[in-house]
Structure 1
Amino acid sequence: MLRTHHCWAAVLTVVGLAIASLCSAQDIASFDPQLDEHQALWLKAGEPVAAQAVQSGEEADLVIHAALDLPEIRPLLQRYSREHPGMLLHYVNRSALALEARYLAAPLTPRADLMISSAMGLQYRLANGGHARPLQAANLTGWPESSRWRNELFAMSFEPIVMVARRDALKRLADSEGLRDPRDALRSHRDLWHLLETRRELLRGRVITYDPRRSGSGFTYAVSDARQSPRYWTLVRAMGQADARLVTTTGAMLEALANGEVDIAYNLVGPYAISFARAHPELLVIVPEDYVLIQRRLAFVPRQAPHGDAGEAFLDWWLSLEGQQAVASDSDLGALHPEVSGDGSARDLRERLGNALRPIEIGPGLLATLDRLKQASFLSRWALEFRAPAPGPRSGSEPASESDSESETRPAPETQATPASPATLDD
């Protein structure tokens, strides 16, 4: 907790809550179905069907609304469609915010038979609020309890939150550190902190990460980081002192890396980063060795789904051994099934990293990322640390110790950072 005067902290909190409430109401009210950008796909027998070719008023047999980019899920949708050639499948991809806002506005157009989202807190809130239908299919009721909530909300992926760096930058940093293998320059969160402290000028303006004040995903990862390690706050401070760039999506980070605008990106969604790096060999994806956050996309069948049985059948297939083998072979989403191996699978990551894995738990703790008061308190400290001035010259060449910097008492800021709200959630 910040060591600030209690009255001043209370004022900041009230201001933050008012701003958050205002932003949320305005943003949700401004949604226009004709303006909302999204990707859509119609499939029959595994082949795309042009939207114009679908007969006017024809209803799909399975409608999936998701916050999951088409390149990652298209091969799986096509595989399932081929196995059900008589089915007309309609997939709609939106931002996590638009997905929830449109669902709550009711009804979605078209109505969803299955909802999938990376915004774990939003999905849990909907299921906990009675919007999810209890499911009874065999693969669903047998799914590990740690990967589902009751029989209503199910984890569909196992996605590490990673770092990505340019290989040429890692070589320069390794040379400056006297390391033979460039990969040794950055293997953990502590390595990143060390580089920011000792090679600050080399990295000034060359690091990029989420802005948790404007990105719901970034906020969730930041909270999870802080829960895992007290070193998180020294890392935030070091990034601020190195003039780190702040953005709202993994895609923006990857583009900045590919364009040579930055050298290191922190806290990216693993599957997107892995897929992007495959086409950009100048980039290296780094799964931190000290601990790695695991995001899991959550799915549920809405109670008012027009074809709820079809949504349940698709989810049952996805979590079956056959479906999970398809996830492992056709995507980078990370298969969860204990019998499925291969790069990026839960089994592979557990074998390589063991206790370093930190899956974001499915439960009431997710609601904390949506609580206005907790958001305001957390982001107040985040802004304080990120804006902290760099320390003056020290004797010797060693950076300040983490224990020293953690114990510093700082004055309260004059302005409160705008808290992240559901209106800023992205995928």
Structure 2
Amino acid sequence: MIRFALCFLLFASAAPAQEAVQRFGPEDAAVTLRLRTTTDIAIFAPTVEAFLDTAPGVAILYEQWGSNDLYALSREDCASGRKAADIIISSAVHQMVKLVNDRCAASWRSPATQAVPSGLKWRDELWGITREPAVMVYNRALVPPDEVPLTRFDLLDLLRPQDSRYAGRVATYDIEASGLGFLFAFIDSQEASTFGALMETFARTGAIATCCSAEIIGGVIEGDYLIAYNVLGSYARSVAAIDSRLGIVEPRDYTVVLSRAAMLPGPDVRPEAGAFLDYLVSTEGKIAMARSFLISGGGEDESGSDASDNETARRPIRLSPSLLVAVDQANATRFIRRWREVFAQ
């Protein structure tokens, strides 16, 4: 059963805080791989188990982290020369590009990785393994069908009236708490002519910025929020599959598509870790991830629109040095300062 506990409160300490841990595979396994990832255990467990069915004698110690904490810990490990993890997978792909750029990853070449499209790999050290759209979600019982926003322009129209009933009832990621939320917002600022208007409107109407997918999706289902913006589609679809109150829209003006990035920390690679990566980018791995909505190829969304009609509006995030702009300290500081001004309330 899909859990709503997709993210947990972090400890007050500044030290990176692990969110959850679980072991998969036999206790007496000859090899135990350490996987560190931002992906919720309940979402990724079926894929891990499917891989282990192909790898007798291998176990996986699964560590779930928040994206910012995982990035900080990985940088510390890299700087000190520790190899604490065998594979790292994060939704904050701009942070992963930075780790690779800082020589924290090992190279891995195999027939499986060589078949990965160029936009989903970089330097044989980073690979995109999922296809997850950034969506809008809404409460189907509380948002009338003719008010479901199908584009960002529609969302602006809902919030434009001074007495809009959506004021204070729209949520999105807190970009300071969520590396993924930062990335989605940063890409919006580069892609969308509506970004400035959205920021102004969010500020004027008291939009809510909160930490993570679970809190946002749960708030929409319970009616605390009516609509949420830039939610990760894989988590939304997993919940919608068991709770009909949640509706989902891939924005028709454009839909950002994320591929979680996987890397093998250097300097060397355990063969079993390479085999796990090969599985994730293989046809079998994609089928396993699709069952958990980590691979999205369209289909009808819960607004009643056909997401396959939106393929031309999909904008994949390419794994490339261009993402380093998002982790540049000066750029990030300016962007977060602007965001704070919006959500000062």
Whether TM exceeds 0.5 here: the answer is yes
Q: Answer 1 or 2: which has greater helix percent.
A: 1
Instruction: Using structure 1 for the length normalisation, give the TM-score.
Output: 0.70
Taking the aligned partners of 2:21 and 2:57, their CA distance within structure 1 comes to 20
2:30 pairs with 1:68: no
Taking the aligned partners of 2:33 and 2:177, their CA distance within structure 1 comes to 34
2:315 pairs with 1:334: no
Aligned residues of 1:60 and 1:90 also touching (Cα < 8 A): no
Counterpart amino acid of residue 84 in structure 2: R
Change (3 A) 1:83 1:223: same
Where 1:237 maps in the other structure, the secondary structure is helix
Match of 1:227 among 166, 190, 195: 190
| Partner of residue 393, structure 1 | none
- Between structure 1 and structure 2, the one with the greater Rg is 1
Change (3 A) 1:125 1:326: same
| Partner of residue 63, structure 2 | 92
Match of 2:285 among 316, 319, 323: 323
2:52 pairs with 1:81: yes
Counterpart amino acid of residue 159 in structure 1: E
Q: How does 1:234-313 map to 2 (within 5 A)?
A: 234-305=197-268, 308-313=270-275
Aligned residues of 1:67 and 1:96 also touching (Cα < 8 A): yes
2:24 pairs with 1:31: no
Counterpart amino acid of residue 62 in structure 1: L
Where 2:143 maps in the other structure, the secondary structure is helix
Could you tell me how far 1:211 is from its partner in structure 2? 2.7
Could you tell me how far 1:101 is from its partner in structure 2? 2.4
Q: How does 1:103-114 map to 2 (within 5 A)?
A: 103-106=74-77, 111-114=84-87
- 1:382-416 Cα offsets, whole Å, 9 max, x none, are 4556679xxxxxxxxxxxxxxxxxxxxxxxxxxxx
Counterpart amino acid of residue 39 in structure 1: A
Could you tell me how far 1:216 is from its partner in structure 2? 2.6
Could you tell me how far 1:183 is from its partner in structure 2? 5.5
- What 5-or-longer segments of structure 1 have no aligned partner? 1-26, 172-181, 336-340, 389-427
Change (3 A) 1:183 1:118: farther
Could you tell me how far 1:300 is from its partner in structure 2? 1.0
**Does 258-267 or 156-165 show the bigger shift?**
258-267
Change (3 A) 1:81 1:215: closer
Change (3 A) 1:199 1:281: farther
| Partner of residue 400, structure 1 | none
Where 1:202 maps in the other structure, the secondary structure is coil
Counterpart amino acid of residue 150 in structure 1: R
Q: CA RMSD in A?
A: 2.7
Aligned residues of 1:241 and 1:387 also touching (Cα < 8 A): no
Match of 1:374 among 318, 331, 338: 331
2:167 pairs with 1:204: yes
Could you tell me how far 1:252 is from its partner in structure 2? 1.3
Instruction: Using structure 2 for the length normalisation, give the TM-score.
Output: 0.86
- What 5-or-longer segments of structure 2 have no aligned partner? 1-10, 301-305
Where 1:83 maps in the other structure, the secondary structure is coil
Counterpart amino acid of residue 331 in structure 1: S
| Partner of residue 422, structure 1 | none
- 1:37-82 Cα offsets, whole Å, 9 max, x none, are 33222222xxxx5xxxx47xx8743222111111111011111111
2:149 pairs with 1:186: yes
